[in-house]
Amino acid sequence: MSEWKEVYLNQAFDICSGLSKPAQDFGSGFPFLSFKTVFDNFFVPKNLLELVESSDKERHRCSVKRGDVFLTRTSETVKELGMSCVALKDYENATFNGFTKRLRPNGKFEIVPEYAGYYFRSPKFRAEVTALSSASTRASLNNEMLGRLKIVLPSWEEQKRIAAVLSCLDDKIENLRKQNETLEKIAQTLFKHWFIDFEFPNENGQPYRSSGGAMQPSELGAIPAGWRVGKLGDEFNILMGQSPVGSSYNQNGEGLIFFQGRTDFGFRFPTIRLFTTEPKRIANKFDVLVSVRAPVGDINVAFEKCCIGRGLSAVSSNHQSYCLYKLKSFKKFFDVFESEGTVFGSVNKTSFNELKSIIPNTEIIQAFEDIVSPIDRKNFLNENQIQTLTKTRDTLLPELMSGKLRIPE
């Protein structure tokens, strides 16, 4: 540890504020690093999808280059302040958000960008930010406050070793996430082919509709012979959430996992954050969780048994994969509840149950389930791995950053 340095941020970085632009300047122009992107990521994504109109002068002053550290400088809560994101490459013509600060290495100290990305998200640095901002009257960071924060710098080689270990875990997590995205696309494509385009395999294994399969008229248009139009409630069991008393909420793991609404939704499974000791409405493992308050229709899957609040419903079926992708296909119908004149969209149980649905033959549903259920199972197992790897990374992070755990050369 004797060779580790602890330096103030204003000794190691030049600090600069970002770009403040009116709303009409967004949506076209040049790449833009947003507040949300900084907040959500350890590292700046390879491609910046958001755009802003900016001048040559603005792009020069607010550029984004390898090694730059971006910190959120204002937030509604102290815990969300000073969230970091580090650039691992130069981003041509890019600028960054005015509600963030850019810390650009001044060259006086050797700082590996990958190491910085993990250090600024470590419990050690987060605790410093919380302690500093708690002494302020509002959740914000100015240059003087940032200058009082510190970064711990091992040798260049040890920084690289620390970053390599943590990056290896993150790479595995990212690969599993990409695999899950691919699996989801495969399942959704098959659902559309079978149940929207009506190209499920006929008795000869050929696409039904394009091979001349019999169709019959219905109030929702032509549908395969033998299918019928019914209600979503005819196909699935729909349970509306009910919030427990607020005093039962905790983050200590006491009681049952609790999701109030879609706030903790992820790509497929929600992030566990809250628990309740007095659950009211229970969703079972693999039930489909549907947001019934703005934004209506967002969907996740229950990773395990949980309590659902009034912002969610839990939908179950004997054919759970079919249920999931059927509900995903209803996005345009859920959107109607967002545009019915109310400030905040919502859907009640009656409206949910009464949604018109094309109901296929059970044999076709089961055939789909036989193919897609193993895909969804793989998705679940990947998510299990992701959670294990994430916990491993988050356990190693403070140990490595404090020097309690050293990586041999």
The last residue of a domain, from among 92, 123, 153? 153
Q: Are residues 14 and 141 in the same domain?
A: yes
Q: Model confidence over 233-249: pLDDT tens digits?
A: 999 999 999 999 999 99
> How many Å apart are CA 348 and CA 187, to the nearest integer?
29
CATH number at residue 395: 1.10.287.1120
Q: Taking Cα atoms as reference points, which of 209, 127, 179 lies closest to residue 398?
A: 127
Q: What is the residue-wise DSSP string for 238-307? A: EEE--PPPGGGEESS--SEEEE-SGGG--SSSPPP-EEESS--SEEPTTPEEEE-BSSTT-EEE-SS-EE
In degrees, rounded to 5, the angle at the alpha carbon of residue 305 between the alpha carbons of residues 302 and 311 is 60
Q: Model confidence over 28-61: pLDDT tens digits?
A: 999 999 999 999 999 999 999 999 999 999 999 9
Q: Model confidence over 309-322: pLDDT tens digits?
A: 999 999 999 999 99
Q: Average pLDDT in the 88-95 region?
A: 98
> How many Å apart are CA 71 and CA 141, to the nearest integer?
9
Question: Residue 136: its pLDDT value, please?
Answer: 58
Question: Residue 2: its pLDDT value, please?
Answer: 61
* 57 within domain boundaries: yes
Total structural domains in the chain?
Answer: 3
- Helix 320-328 and helix 156-191: axis angle, to 10°? 90
Confidence tier at 343 by pLDDT (50, 70, 90): very low
Q: Are residues 274 and 140 in the same domain?
A: no
Q: Are residues 324 and 394 in the same domain?
A: no
Q: Are residues 19 and 86 in the same domain?
A: yes
Q: Are residues 95 and 108 in the same domain?
A: yes
Q: Taking Cα atoms as reference points, which of 65, 75, 48, 58 lies closest to residue 20?
A: 58
Contact yes or no for 138/45 (Cβ under 8 A): no
* For residue 295, cis peptide bond before it (omega within 30 degrees of 0): yes
Question: Residue 292: its pLDDT value, please?
Answer: 94
The two beta strands, 249-250 and 299-301, are unpaired
Average pLDDT of the chain to the nearest whole number: 94
Q: Are residues 327 and 239 in the same domain?
A: yes
User: Does residue 332 register a pLDDT over 50?
Assistant: yes
Domain extent, residue 121, equals: 5-153
Question: Residue 137: its pLDDT value, please?
Answer: 53
Hunting for tokens 């958000």 — which residue is that? Answer: 97
